[in-house]
Structure 1
Amino acid sequence: MEIAILLGSFALLLLLRVPIALTLILSSLITGVYMEIDPSAIFQRMVSGVNSFSLLAIPFFILAGEIMNEGGISRRLINFANVLIGKIRGGLAMVNVLASTFFGGISGSALADTSSLGSVLIPMMKKNKYDSDYAVAVTISSAAQGVLIPPSHNMIIYSTAAGGVSVGALFMGGLGPGLLLGLSLMILTYVIAVRRNYPKGEVIQRKEVPRIMWEGLLGLFTVVIIMGGILSGFFTATESAAIGALYAFIITFFVYREIPFLHMKVILHKTFKTLAMVMFLIATSSSFGWLLALLKVPAIVSETLIGISPNDYVTILLIIIILLGLGMIMDMAPLILIATPILLPVAITVGFDPVHFGVMLILCLSIGLVTPPVGSVLFVGSAIGKISIEKASKGMLPFYAAMIIVLLLVAYIPKISLFLPSLFGY
């Protein structure tokens, strides 16, 4: 009965469109009252959920992404990518994917990627006679790399939910699958471009190339600072995030100088707004997860999934189907916090390394970001492209196929996720 009340009230509140963080805490309190648990214990769990040193990296990563986003880094990365591959047929679509790869390494957010790069590239692609649904599909599918390629604050959220998995290992574990996803999308965009006879990219004047390369590399050096500090052991993830944010500040306001210093007020407002949502979500998810563990829901789910088939591969497939289904109806951050304590024990039972499972989880949920009916990135891309959700979803069909293939490769070939972490001693 307690499980039915917890999950039933959660589902009911979601159907009533109550914000997810309030849904989590209200369903926890309702269940706590039924179980005669002192409400203060639930609130104490909320506090302990955000009382983690590793979570201090999140505000710095968000701040660095906001600074670079507002400071014109998106346009510079588009130009940088255009120098590298823009001359190929369908080059503008491939530039879109490559720019998302670069930008994902700075912002760590698929939504920020779509908003900043998409607002430039989608109109540009439409102007160059690319189909609007194709332009939107390329933009939002490539934006999914942003949550895999380090630094990603979603990896930090997973680390917390999984009980302290190494953030450095997760960053390195997500790099290979993120680049594999980007490569597969670039191949797909090229094949479609050739079949539809999309135009080649514009030729960039040779005298402009050094400036474009320099400005692009300055922005990308943010990632080098963050990852270099973590991998060398010189900085913790939190210290690297802080130094990365400081570097982004210097580059934006003293090198690029595209926005006035007073604009920092707007950047801080956006950062605090995002941070407040993320931290409140982590806090409420902590109390909800505590009740799930108290009611032994992870053990019940584990026994049920393993009982369906003795074959580990079938169990993995069932986990993937569950995550893809949940990703279609819920946003990423709450799902990481809810699904991890339930499904991680199952994954470990069938031989998953926690880092491998975390990467697969993030990739599954990134697909959910571009899938109807609740895909936030799909909504933003459709709005920028001025097309319906239905048309955008239809244009996404070949891209869904490519993303699912990459997901299955990552799930069933652990080395894709674990090679780099093992190489660097994690």
Structure 2
Amino acid sequence: MIFVITYQTFFRYFVSSSMEFLSSRTVLDFFGSALGFSGVNDLFVSWRERLSNIVGYAVWTEEAARYVFIWTTYLAIPLAIKRRANIRVDALFVKFSERVQNLLWVFIDLLLLFFTFTIFYKGIEFVNMQRQFPQVTAALRLPYYIPYLILPLGFGLMLIRTCESLYGQFKRTGIKDFCIGAFIAVLFAVPPFFAEDANAILLLFGYFILLLMFGVPVAFGLGLSALLTVIAAGTLPVDYIAGVAFTSIDSFPIMAIPFFIAAGIFMGAGGLSERLLNLADELLGGLVGGMALASIATCMFFAAISGSGPATVAAIGAITVPAMVARGYDKMFAAATVAAAGAIGVMIPPSNPFVVYGVTAQASIGDLFLAGIVPGILTGGVLMIVTYYISRKHNWKGENRKRTFASVSKAFWNAKWAVLVPVIVLGGIYGGLMTPTEAAAVAALYGLIVGVFVYKELNWRKLYESCVESANMSSVIIMLMAMATIFGNVMTLEQIPQQIAQVILNVTNNPVVIILLINILLLWIGTFMEALAAIVILTPILLPLALQIGMNPIHFGVIIVVNLAIGFITPPVGVNLFVASGIADAKIQSIAKASIPFLLAMLAVLMVITYIPQLSLFLL
């Protein structure tokens, strides 16, 4: 995918630049008059015609990459099922006894079995229909049933992995508890088959909330609640769900997500993050709290590479937390600093949550990237102020060594390949050379080349592991978006967003109060739901309300992302806290307590961003 889209980008740039060169009056005059060439205009016309004939050489690339993307996603989900790596809300689940948890895993796996078998079976029907009424794709001229084969193949593999998981649960729980779990699953799933005149809204949200509480992965919870609602209320034909599982992610903009994830992973494994830290340490390491300040600065810069909060914490925290502890900082403070700074990873562009919001809200991803720059820098600046104050209070001084222009220049030169990444990505997008998806692919290829051939830290084994990790991480997100589309379509048909907006407007029509209520809701959701899941679920519900009170959809996207970024450091599902806890080998509660000053500072920034929209929009 990365190579194909990079080829498309450079091929288009080469053709367009060449056509512009051959059409330039200045160039024609130069060759025709200054050099005395006769017939230069006819020659250039001939060359332009030849270039026109090869424009189609890259037509196949986008379509090929999209289909590879869909296949990669659904082939990687079985691995996520095997590893139990799907995004879940397990705040309640972990409080149960081990026996109850095992019962619930039987319940979860049986529901997944029902869902994956349904899509598998309907996928076979879909492929057979495509073979019976053959059509071909626009560019590659492939029979349509070939791309759609991924539905029975991918969900068939998910079915096998789920059966494998069920067998493991059977051996762990024994026949008695297994039967109890199976009985609960049947009791849960059967009623919709016998329901008449069921309330679709109650079914959709009731099932979804219960599935989340029982620890069902969010993506499958969305799909299952939509499927059970469709069966009970007859809102849509069941066959429709299989089709949407394919068409919902057959989207070029969505492909930016796996590319940005791959770019961050390649660059972290390839040594770019360590060189960025050395540069930040040279610039800030001599100040009070210097290493902590350097950590925040590095997180801000790495945010312009990875687009992910947890990825930023993992890449930077693994280096900076041990370094801070070695220099005398409190371990909890060190972990909390990186966890809070990692939240900037989803504000400063490129940002995966902005891509997801842009696709969900049909908003410009480029505008969202621009709108996130000031909030991200502002958040980083405020975190630095808090860090400086705490460090001065505890007398955590900077490293006492000589820093000269020469040492800073050397550190900058060593980090030059990493520093160029935001220039390539943002310069390409706003210079009109690349779309966000193409910029992400170029960034991923750039990170791969630098890691393998320049720094030589990304060997073939690391490269293989990085590719698997990228595919696994991105597939979980894309599966979530596919299932959220099905869920959202059922919501739209039942006019649920409009009903919710009307209820709130009946309570108050004061925009200031409504925005405050939205912030409170988002902050609460962020404490127990992963950011990307919250965006795909809440955007269709809250965006109509925001538009009714006159909010700019780009500004609203910034508010959503900043709110949910704060959720990265709020228990019980603060993912940055989990990553920092693993790095520091410390209890989450202790890190969460140390994060309170940073949390308060980020809440203050949120209020400023919310009520002063110009901070986000003035760059547009």
- After TM superposition, the score normalised by the length of structure 2 is 0.66
Instruction: Work out which structure has the larger RCO, using CA pairs closer than 8 Å and 6 or more positions apart in sequence.
Output: 1
Q: CA-to-partner distance for each residue in 1:143-194, whole Å, 9 max, x for gaps?
A: 00000111112211111110x2111101001111000000000111011111
* Secondary structure at 1:420 match in 2: coil
Unaligned stretches of 5+ residues in structure 1: 422-426
Q: Equivalents in 1 of 2:386, 2:601: separation in Å?
A: 8
Distance 1:293 1:214 in 2: 53
Cα distance between partner residues in 1 of 2:452 and 2:403: 27
Confirm or deny: 8 A CA contact 1:93 1:189 kept in the other structure: yes
1:31 partnered with 2:234 = no
**2:205, 2:402 → 1: CA distance?**
57
More moved, 116-125 vs 359-368 = 116-125
| Rounded Cα–Cα distance in structure 2 between residues aligned with 1:202 and 1:124 | 15
Against the structure 1 CA distance between its residues 33 and 202, is the aligned structure 2 distance closer, same or farther, given a 3 Å change threshold? farther
Give the AA of the match of 2:225: S
Q: Distance in 1 between matches of 2:261 and 2:282?
A: 28
Number of the residue aligned with 1:225: 424
Tell me what 1:296 maps to. 495
Task: Indicate which of 440, 449, 465 corresponds to 1:266.
Answer: 465
Q: Is the 8 A contact 1:43 1:287 kept in 2?
A: no
In the alignment, structure 1 residue 98 sits paired with structure 2 residue 297: yes
Note if contact 1:10-1:24 (Cα within 8 Å) is conserved in structure 2: yes
Q: Does 1:368 align with 2:567?
A: yes
2:314 alignment counterpart = 115
Q: For the residues of structure 1 that align with 2:430 and 2:222, how far apart are their CA atoms?
A: 36
The size of the alignment, in residue pairs, is 420
Contact preservation (8 Å) 2:282, 2:403 = no
CA deviation digits over 1:202-242, x for unaligned, max 9? Answer: 42665543332112231021111010011011111122112
Structure 2 counterpart of 1:333, one-letter code: L
Match of 1:125 in 2: 324
Q: Match of 2:252?
A: 53
Q: 1:191 aligns with which of 389, 414, 435?
A: 389
Task: Name 1:153's counterpart in structure 2.
Answer: 352
Structure of higher CA gyration radius: 2
- Give the one of 513, 518, 543 matched to 1:319: 518
Matches within 5 A, 1:2-401: 2-36=200-234, 37-162=236-361, 164-203=362-401, 206=404, 208-401=407-600
Partner residue of 2:613? 414
| TM-score normalised by the chain length of structure 1 | 0.96
Equivalent position amino acid for 1:87 in 2? G
Q: Tell whether the 8 Å contact from 1:104 to 1:149 is kept in structure 2 after alignment.
A: yes
Indicate if the aligned counterparts of 1:89 and 1:198 stay in contact, CA closer than 8 A: yes
Secondary structure of the 2:240 match is helix
SS of corresponding position for 1:275: helix
Q: Distance in 2 between matches of 1:111 and 1:380?
A: 7
- For residues 368 and 473 of structure 2, the distance between their equivalents in structure 1, rounded to whole angstroms, comes to 22
Percent of paired sites with the same residue: 38
Report the CA distance between 1:262 and its aligned residue.
4.2
1:403-423 CA distance string (max 9 Å, x none): 0001111111001110112xx
Partner amino acid for 2:276? L
The alpha-carbon deviation at position 7 of structure 1 amounts to 0.6
Q: How far did 1:392 drift?
A: 1.3
Aligned residue identity for 1:277: V
| Aligned position for 1:405 | 604
Structure 1 residue 261 displacement after superposition: 3.5
